[in-house]
Amino acid sequence: MRLENLYNMHMKDLITRLLVELGEDPEREGLVRTPIRVEKALRFLTSGYGANIDAVLNDALFTVDYNEMVIVKDIDFYSLCEHHLLPFFGKCHIAYIPSTRVIGLSKIPRLVDVFSRRLQIQERLTQDVAQTLQQVVQPLGVGVICEARHFCMMMRGVEKQHSGAMTSAMLGAFRDRKETRDEFLALVNHRSNGF
C-alpha cells in the first residue's frame, strides 16, 4: 500500500486492516468495536501532542520570596514507547529551586502528563519535563528523575520482568552543585509515614 493511501485512511480503518494482517476476523463478535476502542485509547494516550503548555499551566506562577528546594515526588505516569508502541510506566520525582517565582504544585504532574502522553522514550520524557520547567519558572535549577518499567523489555525481546530503567536530568544548581543533587536524591529516597 502506498504511503499516500495510508494518509487518506481513518485510524479505525487502519486498525481493522491491522487485525486482518494479524490473521484475525474483524467481524468477530469480540473485535467488531475494537477499531473504535483502539482509536479512542490511542487518541487519549497521545493527547500530549495537542496540549498547549501555557493553557495547562494556566498562569499558575506566583512571585514569592522562597529559595529552598521544592519537590513533588512519586508522580505516576504512563507512556507509549515510540519504538514498539508498547507501554512504559513509572514515577517521576521533580524538584526545583525558585529564584523569584513558584509554580502551582498541581501543575507539575500535569506537565508530566503532557509529555508522557506522546510516543516517547524515557530519556526524552525526562529531559522535556526538566527543560520546560526551567524555561517556564526560570528557577535556579531543576532536577528530574524518572523510573519506569518497559513492556518492550518485559513482553518481548529480553523478557526481563523485574528490570527497570532510571533516567535523570539535572539543570542549573542541580548540575553544578553536588550538595544540591545529593539533597534531592536523599529527599526522593526518604519515605515518611504520612505519604
Catalytic residues: 81-84, 122, 150, 152
Q: Distance from first CA to last CA of the chain, Å, rounded? A: 53
Residues 165 and 147: their CA atoms lie apart, in Å, by 6
Quick one: angle between helices 122-137 and 107-116, nearest 10? Answer: 140
> With b meaning 16 or more CB within 10 Å and e meaning fewer, what string describes 99-128?
eeebbeeebbebbbbbbbbbebbbeebbbb
Q: Judge contact between 157 and 83, C-beta under 8 A.
A: no
**Cβ atoms within 10 Å of 52's Cβ, excluding its own:** 8
Which residues contact residue 73 at a Cβ distance below 8 angstroms, ignoring those fewer than 6 apart?
91, 93, 94, 187, 188
Alpha-carbon dihedral sign for residues 88, 40, 53, 57: negative
